[in-house]
Chain A
């Protein structure tokens, strides 16, 4: 299992990826380019959501088509609290995470009774419910959303308000989340998830009902995506129902699949690639999806296993 390609995919790529991302603020300062800093911050926020989706999709084989709902829940938690003049991150972030976890627990308990395409549809349905609930929150801007006058506060530090320190905050969260989920993926818990993906009948026959484990994973992923949502509200200083749209859920799915399922850092690669391509291509034409679509198909067809899969070999033993 430790061919060079394997080593490259699973050790060198993530280290290189995080090293490059750590240098972005320095690059931005050097070239005096504030845009690149804000842009990569946004990428990292969505990468956190993508990594959490890869955890349930790539490792647990749960194709959730409603993952954007958690981004929205986390963002609205920050937005609504700010609207009531509560800016403290140590209040709003735990609230964002808890609400997302609760939503994941309730919807997951129901969704996980279904399989395959039905699971996709039911998670989509719950996502749409969250979306339409948000559009009807007229006190908080309804369709138009809610503008935040400032970012969250973390005691008297400028952690959120300063762009560079906010970048490192998001970067740190992404790194911590990735390491945490990798650790879980390798634990007994993670082994049950991976096993259930391969043969549910076998798991039952050895005395494990995968349902509770899947539900726990689903809640963990929901909480992390909620955390990403809270960061996103701060990143854009704006909260709107669009955060929860099914198109956004689809985008996160595409990032995960584009990067390569199940490795977790592949999802980060996918987020970087997806959003960069969107940025570059949309600079040339508003019909950038016409170019992006075929590119995506090519990666999925030829890099079976996404961008990471383009690094061949090392799978067999």
Chain B
């Protein structure tokens, strides 16, 4: 079997008496989308934070790109190729759409201690940024101010910024949250087309999207994984139905 792109080993995190991540282990393999689902308060956002590096784990290890990144800060992990989208949109609202992505490209080009050459007309940044906007079907908004985009477009821009760093893994924190049906369809298509080249860990509430996209699904309840399997296995797992899907089925 090939080495996993991302491997979590026995992660733990507690806030006071509240154990938010419980002895959690999982892998994301090259070429797959591994979805993590779970009811609100299951600890999904904390888990994303532990992987990205903004939340320090109490114990356990995070292996990424073949090395132990547990002690590395966010920016270092990103430089190694960990791309992410945020649950609450984090774009640069005053920049144009192009500039947002171009800054991502720039970050991937090494340090930014270049004081004189104008960045706005730097084709080595812009041409790649345009290509990425094409990939995610946002090129019609290239020159728009990012803050003026619709919510759904902002979600797509998030993804584009993450792609600019040529990530070796994408960490997607509810990319479909609040998007309309048309935009969700676009995102699903884009992610599908990318997964062969970029493995992804997907946290998502939109079950239709999850079952369309995921190769494997892990179900998170109270900080621990109660089941991992293919979409079909998860759909038919009694424990999962009880913990989570049950509500959906009866609704």
Could you say which of A190, A191, A207, A316 contacts B165, with CB atoms under 8 Å apart? A207
23 intermolecular pairs with C-beta atoms under 8 Å apart: A183-B115, A183-B118, A186-B119, A187-B114, A187-B119, A188-B106, A188-B122, A189-B113, A189-B115, A191-B106, A195-B92, A198-B93, A202-B86, A202-B90, A203-B75, A203-B107, A204-B54, A205-B52, A206-B103, A207-B78, A207-B165, A208-B78, A208-B112
> Do A216 and B113 touch (CB < 8 A)?
yes
> Do B116 and A184 touch (CB < 8 A)?
yes
How far is B26's CA from A40's CA once the two chains are assembled, in angstroms?
Answer: 68
Given contacts A201-B86, A205-B86, A206-B165, 13 further A-B contacts (CB under 8 A): A183-B115, A183-B118, A187-B118, A191-B112, A192-B112, A195-B95, A205-B52, A205-B84, A206-B78, A206-B161, A207-B107, A216-B113, A316-B148
Determine if B55 is an interface residue (Cβ-Cβ < 8 Å).
no
> Do B78 and A205 touch (CB < 8 A)?
yes
Number of interface residues of A (CB under 8 A): 27
How far is B116's CA from A186's CA once the two chains are assembled, in angstroms?
Answer: 8
Query: When A and B form their complex, which 4 residue pairs have the shortest distance between CB atoms, in order from nearest?
Result: A207-B78, A207-B79, A204-B74, A209-B75
Closest Cβ of chain B: how far from A54's Cβ, in Å? 16
> Do B117 and A187 touch (CB < 8 A)?
yes
Most B-side CB within 10 Å, residue of A184, A191, A209: A191
Determine if A304 is an interface residue (Cβ-Cβ < 8 Å).
no
Most B-side CB within 10 Å, residue of A188, A205, A208, A209: A205
Determine if B94 is an interface residue (Cβ-Cβ < 8 Å).
yes
Which residues of A lie under 8 Å from residue B118 when comparing CB positions?
Answer: 183, 186-187
Which residues of B lie under 8 Å from residue A216 when comparing CB positions?
Answer: 113
How far is B107's CA from A285's CA once the two chains are assembled, in angstroms?
Answer: 55
> Do A206 and B164 touch (CB < 8 A)?
yes
Could you say which of B79, B114, B161 contacts A189, with CB atoms under 8 Å apart? B114
How far is B148's CA from A215's CA once the two chains are assembled, in angstroms?
Answer: 31
Could you say which of A187, A192, A194, A202 contacts B94, with CB atoms under 8 Å apart? A194
> Do B145 and A316 touch (CB < 8 A)?
yes
Determine if A199 is an interface residue (Cβ-Cβ < 8 Å).
yes
Closest residue of A by beta carbon distance from B125: A188
| Binary CB contact string for chain B from 30 to 73 against chain A (1 if under 8 A, 0 otherwise) | 00000000000000000000001010000000000000000001
Closest residue of A by beta carbon distance from B74: A204
Closest residue of B by beta carbon distance from A196: B92
How far is B145's CA from A195's CA once the two chains are assembled, in angstroms?
Answer: 13
Closest Cβ of chain A: how far from B54's Cβ, in Å? 8
Determine if B4 is an interface residue (Cβ-Cβ < 8 Å).
no
How far is B49's CA from A162's CA once the two chains are assembled, in angstroms?
Answer: 63
B96-141 CB contacts (< 8 Å) to partner A: 96, 99, 102-104, 106-108, 112-120, 122
Determine if B24 is an interface residue (Cβ-Cβ < 8 Å).
no
> Do B164 and A205 touch (CB < 8 A)?
no
